[in-house]
Amino acid sequence: MRIGTAILAIAAAISLGGCSLKKQPQIAKAAPPPPKPAAPPKPAEPLSIPQTNVELPPPQQIPPDALPPVEPGTTPAPPPAANRPQNRPPQQRPPALPKPEPATPSTPAQPPAAERAPVAEVLSAAEAKRLQDEAHARTNEARQTIARLSARRRNQQRSVIDRINTFLTQAQEAERRGDVRQASELAGRAAVLARELTP
């Protein structure tokens, strides 16, 4: 039993000795003081400078030739309110003297500009001839197709035939104006509608 007690004593000493070998418990250290805030940086120049103090150029004089002539019996419109200062009290004006009639200019007024011709496509002679021939061929095709229809079929398709005739009339007007491309396209539309009529 002595041996058993001795073993127990040794085992207890070893196990208790391990506790003494442990590191000392660390004491919580105080947190370091918070860093001092850095001084705010000086504001850099802004990327764009607001332009609140706008300096406008001085008003320009308008030459009298640039103004439209004033017809007798009409009064000129007062200047816009934006040019008048808002903070001034109204001024007393002396009674208006009759203004002398402006002398009529010795040159007659310019007649209104003649209306310009519409912008037209410039085609070579060969291209214009080809488009004109194409328009005539399509017009003839549409008319022949309508002529081949029976009277009964024509009555059934009256709205389509009227539309074809409208396209053909427009094609003739375009050709008279010299717009052969438009004439060809309109005649082509009439021919397409006419092909749909055939049974």
- Angstrom distance (rounded) from CA 170 to CA 188: 12
Alpha carbons 106 and 123: distance in angstroms, whole number: 46
CA distance 194 to 154: 11
**pLDDT tens-digit series, residues 144-180:** 988 888 888 888 888 899 999 999 999 999 999 888 9
Distance CA 150, CA 21 (A): 123
Q: In terms of Cα–Cα distance, which of 172, 171, 175 is closest to 185?
A: 171
Q: Tell me, what's the pLDDT at 66?
A: 81
Torsions phi, psi of 184, nearest 5?
Answer: -65, -40
> Sorting pLDDT into bands at 50, 70 and 90, what band is 32?
confident
* Beta-carbon-side half-sphere exposure of residue 47 (alpha carbons within 13 Å): 0
* pLDDT at residue 95 is higher than 70: no
Distance of CA 131 to the CA centre of its chain: 36
What mean pLDDT is predicted for residues 20-34? Answer: 66
Q: Are 125 and 174 in contact (CB under 8 A)?
A: no
Full DSSP string of 77-100 = PPPPGGGS-SSSPPPP-PPPPPPP
pLDDT of residue 98: 56
Distance CA 83, CA 55 (A): 15
Which band of pLDDT confidence, cut at 50, 70 and 90, is reported for residue 184? very high
Quick check: 25 pLDDT over 80? Answer: no
Mean pLDDT of 23-41: 70
pLDDT band at 121 (very low <50, low <70, confident <90, very high): confident
Q: What is the number of residues in the chain?
A: 199
Helix (H) or strand (E) holding 36: none
Return the DSSP state at 127. H
Q: With left for phi above 0 and alpha for psi between -120 and 50, is residue 37 left, alpha or beta?
A: beta
Q: pLDDT for 105-120, tens place per residue?
A: 555 555 555 576 666 6
Q: At what angle are helices 180-197 and 158-177 packed, to 10 degrees?
A: 160
pLDDT of 43 over the 90 cut? no
